[in-house]
Amino acid sequence: MNIDPTKLKDWEIAELSEQNMKTVKELSVQLGLDEMEVLPYGHYLAKLDYRTILDRLKNKPDGKYIEVTAITPTPLGEGKTTTTMGLVQGLGKIGKSVTGAIRQPSGGPTFNIKGSAAGGGLAQCIPLTDFSLGLTGDIDAITNAHNLAMVALTSRLQHEFNYGDATLEKKNLKRLDIDPRNPAIGWSIDFSAQALREIMIGIGGKMDGFIMKSGFQITVYSEIMAILAVARDLKDMRERISKMIVAYDKKGNPVTTADLEVDGAMTAIMAKAINPNLMQTIEGQPVLVHAGPFANIAIGQSSIIADRLGLKLADYHVTESGFGADIGFEKFWNLKCRFSGLTPNCSVIVCTVRALKMHGGGPRVAPGKPLDKAYIDENTELVEKGMENLMAHIETVKKSGVPAVVCINHFYTDTDNEIQVIKDACVKAGARVAVSKHWEKGGEGAVELAEAVVSACEEKPDFKFLYSDDTPLEKRIELIAKEVYGAAGVSYTADARKKLENIQADKNLSSLGTCMVKTHLSLSHDPTLKGRPTGWILPISDVLIYQGAGFIVPVAGGIKLMPGTASDPAFRRIDVDVETGRVKGLF
């Protein structure tokens, strides 16, 4: 099918491409799967029985492991998922057996400004509507499991307040003495709902709950999403969910889901979600979709289970990390790979001329507003000035010992002179570089990138973590701040300092991984600082404990864990053709 992406919207391209989709049965034959290993959700979607597949293929060598990250993006994004899909298609075009793994989009950005995360142009994951609007229900399961923990907490608070110890004992309940002023989590919803950030609950009479301050976070920030990303199997997920801290008692001791006796029910809700979802690129390569986005406020990785499956099912497996290498790759490197035991063969760093111009001092880029002419007309000076940001990300990847491949995600407004500036700087920095026109030409346009990745995978990576397991938490934070972000140092609020010291004094907590929360719009904590800022201090405002997921979460700056909906959200343009039932307007 001949499709011109310059004349059609992404959802229109997806709709046309879906006319030639492979069925689940065709994809499963392509992957060499047994019929009972595939759990169909209609004709074109399925979940894969990870346990059966991994057991059957346990002696098969893993394929090459490729991670996709990016430079610090503009607020519009730089096409990381588009590049991931393009690379999968490009590897398929040169005859390689390949799978991809990407994250399921959140309803927050889908119905807000950013839109879905299926890729774009001729490099997309389809079917788009299913991908964007709930897929097989994983995010709904996370929302329900998370909120069930809150139901258990608030119910126990109410009953402990209303009943004496004798009545509690009759009901086979132990008094947990929960401190309503010190909850560890709030409620969860998968929309950008700023009005729910802070709420009061339990307003009413004695039977209407316990009056307390609470709030909502977006579902993809839930610790259960992080657990889905890092769990190795259902048993591991069950153990991690049981360790989740929901609140603290009046002596400051943690109250877990196991204490509330809700961990088993939460795992039951999540039992189907642990199986990765099977989709495809518009050129018919298999794509595993599992776990969620937001590496700025969460781990932001496709799941370990999806990667383990992809590495057994193909010779090349491409997985995506969230945002820039300072956030997504750093968490892939020091958290995901540590938990999985897998070693990547190369990392692809996506950059665009547009983003480099912004980092070079170009005019402000804002979602929903036309780009300034500076981003369309040739300006090699801005590109050259913005190269400092790309160099920082190349250096981060090289510190891991993994070969770096810079992908110039080509826009049709880019000029040869601008592209040459990037190529020259990358070669000088010791990184492979390839121009990819996957948005415009699909797999054919990504052949140069695919060949560069194959070449990089022939090298033997000298993989090493940024810090060892026994590195103190404060030192880890300092290493990430200085070695990855480029900070001059780290500061703490009094509350964050106290929490840090308490964690470091607890052997069970001090050994957990470190998952930073920081803006994705700058190497620093300040989204207005572009390029490669120097001489700044990283301010840690809070330190959270994700005991179930297995990491401590230092929060830098005043970042919100519940995004807000803008004045011109995407939901205004999404509708259904009532004659055919086809959804239109997704992007």
Residues annotated as catalytic (active site), given as ranges: 80, 82, 103, 114, 295, 323, 411, 439
**∠ CA 304-523-539, rounded to 5°:** 95
Q: CA 33 to CA 122: how far, in whole Å?
A: 27
Cα-only R_g, the chain: 24
DSSP readout, 347-365?
EEEEE-HHHHHHHTTPPP-
Q: CA 379 to CA 377: how far, in whole Å?
A: 6
CA distances from 360 to 41, 103, 365, 530 (A): 47, 30, 13, 8
Residue 538 φ/ψ, nearest 5 degrees: -80, 115
Q: CA 69 to CA 347: how far, in whole Å?
A: 7
Contacts of 205 by beta carbon, 8 Å cutoff, 6+ apart:
none
313 alpha-carbon distance from chain centroid: 23
CA distances from 251 to 179, 248, 587 (A): 8, 8, 49
Both tokens of residue 365?
A: 């880029």
The answer for 47, left when phi > 0, alpha when psi is -120 to 50, beta otherwise, is beta
CA distances from 33 to 53, 56, 60, 281, 306 (A): 8, 10, 14, 18, 15
Length of the chain measured in residues = 587
User: Residues 394, 406: contact at Cβ < 8 Å?
Assistant: yes
Contacts of 275 by beta carbon, 8 Å cutoff, 6+ apart:
39, 47, 48, 49, 50
436 alpha-carbon distance from chain centroid: 23
C-alpha torsion angle, residues 204, 207, 212, 217 (rounded to 10)? -100
Closest CA to 563 of 112, 192, 186: 192
Contacts of 475 by beta carbon, 8 Å cutoff, 6+ apart:
467
DSSP letter assigned to residue 378: -
Q: Which residues of 115-146 are buried (b: 16+ CB within 10 A; e: fewer)?
A: bbbbbbbbbbbbbbbbbbebbbebbbbbbbbb
Closest CA to 444 of 90, 100, 121, 124: 90
User: Residues 407, 396: contact at Cβ < 8 Å?
Assistant: no
